[in-house]
Amino acid sequence: MSPTAAPLNALKSRLSSWRQDPGAAEDRQQVLRVEAEETLRVSFTVNGRPAEVDVAPRVTLSDALRDHLGLTGTHIGCEHGVCGMCTVIVDGDAARACLLLACQLEGAEIMTVEGLGKPDDLHPLQESFSRHHALQCGFCTPGMLMSAYDLLDHEPGVAQDELPEKMSGVLCRCTGYRHIMDAVSDVAQQNPEGVPAPRNCGTGQLLPRSSTGGPGSSAEDELQSRGPAEITLPSSQPTVTVSVEEHVQATPEEIWEVLQDTDRVARCLPGAELVEDFGNDRYLGRIRVALGPVKLSFVGDIHVTERDEQNRSIRAVAQAEDAAGGSVQAGVALAAKPHEGGSLLSADAELFMVGKIAQMGRSLAGDVSADMFAQFTQALDATARGEEPTQAQAPSAVAMFTRLMSQRAQSLVDRLRRR
């Protein structure tokens, strides 16, 4: 090595830690080095969706899943491998998420309890746990389910009397285990060929929550300079579906004119603004939502995928994240049809939420979204008729907050605060 090569290599390897983890494609000569206070960007898939996290070396997979990706289904009990609460599937085998460093997992395929099933399409194991009363407090349930999935995946014909030993990797403080064994045994017997496939492993992207252990640079600057992103909506069930139809005074033609100008459209949405126009109908936008003390600021990509002048309709997909709240992906369709001299303005949206916002609860998240759409249609109507709406202020949703049943809103606030 020449005298100049040493510092150069040191610099290179330092730089490497700010870049993407090279993973499998790793330069065979290179040593990946991440200092204790640095973070590494690691890419893996979670429940079939690509995910990225920026993590310091000591961050475990369980913390990355919970704090960085908002997937809190993976529970943490002991954090040293004994209780099994954190059991997830990594590259096809069950493992303790608390005993894996996220930085070791570049390229890994991870499945968590969120991937197993959907609330209205439960995995047979989940269904069986419910039928057999295999849970009381439910704290061990994600670990039990993932361990059972792994067992039946690899040993489909497992004998009933072997179950206590084979399921001994996860502890339960409530049930006395008997019902858990019954639930697993039932699924084993009904599926001698192997455990049924998971029900909620879709495509689409899981967005990192940059606040937790992120590199510290402004997420917005980064997004702006990296250009437009490809947006794929998950194939799984949306967290919230919103469908609003409103009779407005403006004619479809007038509305269509506003829809042509994305900047004006954005201004109709309370708290929203366009940050960057990347061209080709791709944009970077921001939307602020304030619910009492909860203030979220989502920044992300929007892509208008379809403009249909004939039907006066547009379709768009978007994905955005908030540093603390989580991420949202959305598919939106807007259309204006002639109706009694004005128009019938319809907005249909499918929202996929990850993180704390997803825990707001289906109906409350639905209320908030529906209310925003209602405000949006009104503003759009006003704009179309030449009454430019006042630029919607960030906390414009405060009004909405008071409109919501205050009790439910308060319980959300309490829930978010406690975390």
Ligand X SMILES: Cc1cc2nc3c(=O)[nH]c(=O)nc-3n(C[C@H](O)[C@H](O)[C@H](O)COP(=O)(O)OP(=O)(O)OC[C@H]3O[C@@H](n4cnc5c(N)ncnc54)[C@H](O)[C@@H]3O)c2cc1C
Please state, in angstroms and rounded to a whole number, the distance separating the CA atoms of residues 313 and 349: 13
Contact positions with ligand X (CB under 6 A) in 57-96 = 81-82
355 binds, among ligand FES, another protein, ligand X, none (CB under 5 to 8 A by kind): none
Q: What is the dihedral of CA 188, 194, 195, 196, to 10 degrees?
A: -120
Of 129 and 373, nearer to ligand FES (C-beta) is: 129
Q: Does 136 bind ligand FES (CB under 6 A)?
A: yes
Give the number of residues written for the chain: 419
Return the closest-CA partner of residue 152 out of 124, 123, 184. Answer: 184
Establish if 140 lies at the interface with ligand FES (CB under 6 A): yes
70-99: contacts with ligand FES (CB under 6 A): 76-79, 81-86, 96, 98
Q: Which residues contact 377 (CB under 8 A, 6 or more apart)?
A: 244, 246, 248, 345, 347
For the CB of residue 82, give the shortest distance to ligand X in the complex, in Å: 5
The interface region with another protein, picked from 96-104, 207-215, 220-228, 271-279 by CB under 8 A, is 96-104
Subset of residues 146 to 175 that bind ligand FES, contact rule: CB under 6 A: 172-175
Question: The tokens of 297 are what?
Answer: 């600021």
Q: Which does 172 bind (CB under 5 to 8 A by kind): ligand FES, another protein, ligand X, none?
A: ligand FES
- Is 135 a binding residue for ligand FES by CB under 6 A? The answer is yes
Encoding tokens for residue 136? Answer: 């009381």
Of 83 and 89, which CB lies nearer to ligand FES in the complex structure? 83
From the CB of 89, what's the least distance to another protein, in Å?
9
CA dist., res. 146 & res. 365, Å (int)? 28
Q: Contact at 8 Å (CB) between 111 and 88?
A: yes
* Separation of first and last alpha carbons in the chain: 52
Q: What are the structure tokens assigned to 281, written together?
A: 């109908």
Residue from 53, 103, 113, 358 touching another protein (CB under 8 A): that is 103
Q: What distance in Å separates the CA atoms of residue 232 and residue 205, rounded to the nearest whole number?
A: 7
Which CB, 6 or 78, lies closer to ligand FES? 78
Distance in angstroms (rounded) separating the CA atoms of residues 213 and 367:
32
Partner that binds at residue 83, options ligand X, ligand FES, another protein, none, CB closer than 5 to 8 Å by kind: ligand FES
Rounded CA-CA distance 239/362 in Å is: 7
**Could you list the residues that contact ligand X (CB under 6 A)?**
81-82
**Could you list the residues that contact another protein (CB under 8 A)?**
26-37, 40, 56-58, 60, 63, 79-82, 84, 87, 90, 93-96, 98-101, 103-104, 147, 150-151, 164-166, 168-169
**Could you list the residues that contact ligand FES (CB under 6 A)?**
76-79, 81-86, 96, 98, 135-140, 172-175
